[in-house]
Chain A
Amino acid sequence: EVQLLESGGGLVQPGGSLRLSCAASGFTFSSYAMSWVRQAPGKGLEWVSTISESGGTTYYADSVKGRFTISRDNSKNTFYLQVNSLRAEDTAVYYCAKAGTAAAALWGQGTLVTVSS
């Protein structure tokens, strides 16, 4: 089955860190750019970060640049989002998506990150 499965979300204090993971299955993972998209509670969608097929090129939204790092391990069919220096406004459901900076036909179920003291 073609799917993406996120993990790693949780409650973290302001200034804290988490590593989100997205495990892919059912397709040739190393052939696709992958992305993270987030959605604050009751709000719209924000494209956060994209990584190329090889991992050699990465892109970030200005709102997270310098704080978040995207990476991938093609041997494990998994990619990651390291989120540091978290702020209250980073509270959101984080979705992984099979897409470069384009339309996303496959999404994970989402993992909730809550930043609160």
Chain B
Amino acid sequence: EIVMTQSPATLSVSPGERATLSCRASQSVSINLAWYQQKPGQAPRLLIYGASTRATGIPARFSGSGSGTDFTLTISSLQSEDFAVYFCQQYYNWPTFGQGTQVEIK
């Protein structure tokens, strides 16, 4: 099983600031990496797939980068609706998720 490790566990950011979230795979997953946003009581929402391709309807302030084992999700200017938990997921083989990064208001 490929283990996905996200850091930090919690990120405190002020509205309008940039947020950078990291995700590391225990072995190479090429670019088979997705990012999701989840708010309390809601299902996950796909943000990024293929490591860097935004899903339909996702604002341009969300961007993904990386390949192999190290990946980054960047939110360029945090809006109030962006405070949530973010998960990465590899689908190089059987899908596994990171434990999540909570983005909270500073």
Q: Which residues does A use to contact B, with CB under 8 Å?
A: 44-47, 59, 61, 95, 101-105, 107-110
Smallest CB-CB separation from B48: which chain A residue?
A: A103
What number of B residues sit within 8 Å (CB to CB) of A?
A: 23
Of B43, B49, B56, B95, which contacts A107 at CB under 8 A?
Answer: B43
Secondary structure call for the B interface = loop
Contacts of B72 in A (CB 8 A): none
Smallest CB-CB separation from A105: which chain B residue?
A: B46
A109 to B50, CA, bound (A): 24
Contacts of B91 in A (CB 8 A): 101-103
Contacts of B71 in A (CB 8 A): none
A103 to B50, CA, bound (A): 8
Contacts of B87 in A (CB 8 A): 44-45
A-B contact pairs, 11 of them (CB 8 A): A44-B99, A45-B97, A47-B96, A47-B97, A61-B94, A102-B95, A104-B34, A105-B49, A108-B43, A109-B42, A109-B43
A37 to B90, CA, bound (A): 14
Contact between A47 and B46, CB atoms less than 8 A apart: no
A46 to B98, CA, bound (A): 10
Of A44, A46, A103, A110, which contacts B49 at CB under 8 A?
Answer: A103
